[in-house]
Chain A
Amino acid sequence: MILVIAEQRQGVLNRASSEAIAAAQALGGGLPIKVAVLGESVGGVAQELARTDVAEVLVAAHGALGTYTPDAFTMAAQSIIAATTPAFVVLAHTYQARDFAPMLAARLKTALVTDVIGITGSGASATFTRPMFQGKLVATVRPKPNGPCIVTFQIGSFRADAVRMGSGAPVTKIDVTIDAGAIRQKPEAPFQEAKQAVDLGQAERIVAVGRGIKSQEHLPLVQKLAAAMGAEMAASRPICDNGWLPMERQVGSSGQTVAPKLYVALGISGAIQHLVGMKGSRTIVAINKDRDAPIFEVADYGIVGDLFEIVPALITELEKR
């Protein structure tokens, strides 16, 4: 049996959890799939999950699961695993999974394979591919589980619209044991730092800049290109970390996810955290001096070269019109 732990926030299913179900279906090997959803009141999400082609939806409703903590979620997952004895536990590689899945694996003294992008074989003999060295290499790894094998799938590695739908899976309540006194984290309400002034998600064209720009004083060059292309300016994480551009212009797993008609990546190597935020763009242009940079794996057009020579040439050419 494969147990998928779906993620929801305030009754809204995380889209990445649908991708995790698609991954579990691909992992299949004849194993039935059950999807568990944890929370305080998650009936709506359970009904949504029940439409997928799975054997059963398990609802773990508990007051201590209303606001996420790693301690409570680990205890709940342990309860569900003890009751269902799955061969695999599948999750999306979200910030929440990153927070509690390693704790769950440590408690169960079993294997956790994270950030998986592909499956070879199926069932117990499956091996998993995952990026290593910032995406410069891809590793095939064989888990050595001692109990259930826990796997988290990179967001976007399986398509949510590829989930096989079913004829209505039964929804069952499952009791979980949570010792409230053993929850050490006391979370406050989530908040957003500032009202987002720019909505990159609505931009038709984006010119994004990364470490290759070297210093803040070169940013006007990028701004000029963006203006000439009719594009919004965005950046990879290091640029925003340095305070060169506001956080609201960050594209990637910790920033915004965008899918414009045109995405131009200047001096961006293409770490996975960035790629997940932009690889759905229709046309991607990469300009980078390192021809082995992972950004070229998702680019439709690439120029290997010095952005300080190519960007001025692009501006000159655009201004001819």
Chain B
Amino acid sequence: MKIAVCIKQVPTREWQPRLNDAKTWIREQDAAFEMNEPDAYALEESLRLREKHSGEVVVCAAGPARIQQVLREALARGADRAIHVEDDRLAAADASVTADALAAAMADEKFDLVLTGLQSDDQGHAQTGVILAERLGIPHSTIVMEVQISGSDLRIKRELEGGWFQWIAMPLPALLTVQSGINQLRYATLKGIMAAKKKEIKKVAMPAGLQAAQEIVSLALPTRSKQTRLIDGSPAQAAQDLLKRLREEARVL
């Protein structure tokens, strides 16, 4: 079973946003990066499927040179090899360009299954996986919480809203976008980190002439929809003040 897992490198959760001078993207030099969380769950799921059904896990990503960090991390956690579509313009690319870049690098590999996170914690389009499926000409499902494979039959549990789920069967090859929490993540071992150094990262150029479907005109800090009353003081003072306001102003206690 040949499994691809598509991952993205995004700013860490602790990152405090700062914008470039044109206010069209972030100041990347200030940001620390990590693996997009839903993609980490997709990687874990692909490793578990390989353990059950044997085969190969190939981690695929499209981005500038800095994304090598998350590719190495994926290899250290157990992926067999990596494909890196490298281009600086991919750092802020939209879902359409990212999917096109990945599709061009992945088409000849003829993967049986492609996994990726349901959305990225940076631009958050929640589109790349589905567009990629379409470009590869394979069926898809999204927001997946469980994966079962027997022979060439795939059966997955899809999350619906409000605590509902649904099982869906489809033929392989297929693409699934994975929901966070589908499994328990493993961390890289020292042995894994050492082994990753010898694993191949194949670099691929971005195809020429990819067209973005949208452009970022500007980025800004969100404006507050509500006036938040911030309460200062020591923990004891703040607690006292807050409870007084909840009782007397808001009347909710």
Q: Which residues does A use to contact B, with CB under 8 Å?
A: 69-71, 94-95, 98-103, 105-107, 110-115, 127, 130-145, 184-193, 196, 205, 229, 237-238, 240-242, 247-248, 253-257, 261-262, 269, 272, 282-286, 291-292, 294, 296-306, 309-310, 312-314, 316-318
Q: Which residues does B use to contact A, with CB under 8 Å?
A: 11, 13, 15-17, 19, 26, 95-96, 99, 118, 121-127, 129-131, 133-135, 139-143, 159-171, 174, 179-181, 211-226, 228-231, 235-236, 238-240, 242-243, 245-246, 250, 252-253
> From B131, which residue of chain A is reached at the shortest CB distance?
A106
Q: Which of A269, A286, A300, A303 contacts B238 (CB 8 A)?
A: A303
Known: A112-B125, A133-B15, A137-B220. 4 other contacts (CB 8 A): A111-B213, A115-B125, A127-B217, A261-B252
- A189 and B161 in contact (CB under 8 A), knowing A102-B127, A262-B246, A269-B13? no
Q: Report whether A316 and B239 are in contact in the complex, using a CB–CB cutoff of 8 Å.
A: yes
- A138 and B219 in contact (CB under 8 A), knowing A191-B164, A256-B162, A261-B252? yes
In the complex, how many angstroms separate the beta carbon of B181 from the nearest chain A beta carbon?
3
- A285 and B242 in contact (CB under 8 A), knowing A241-B181, A256-B163? yes
Residues of A within 8 A of B143 (CB): 95, 98-99, 254
Q: Report whether B131 and A143 are in contact in the complex, using a CB–CB cutoff of 8 Å.
A: no
Residues of A within 8 A of B163 (CB): 192-193, 196, 247-248, 254-256
Q: Report whether A102 and B95 are in contact in the complex, using a CB–CB cutoff of 8 Å.
A: yes
Q: Report whether A114 and B169 are in contact in the complex, using a CB–CB cutoff of 8 Å.
A: no
Q: Which of A137, A184, A191, A300 contacts B219 (CB 8 A)?
A: A137
Measured CA separation A69–B141 after assembly (Å) = 9
8 of the cross-chain contacts (CB-CB < 8 Å) are A70-B141, A95-B160, A102-B126, A103-B133, A132-B219, A144-B212, A185-B139, A192-B165
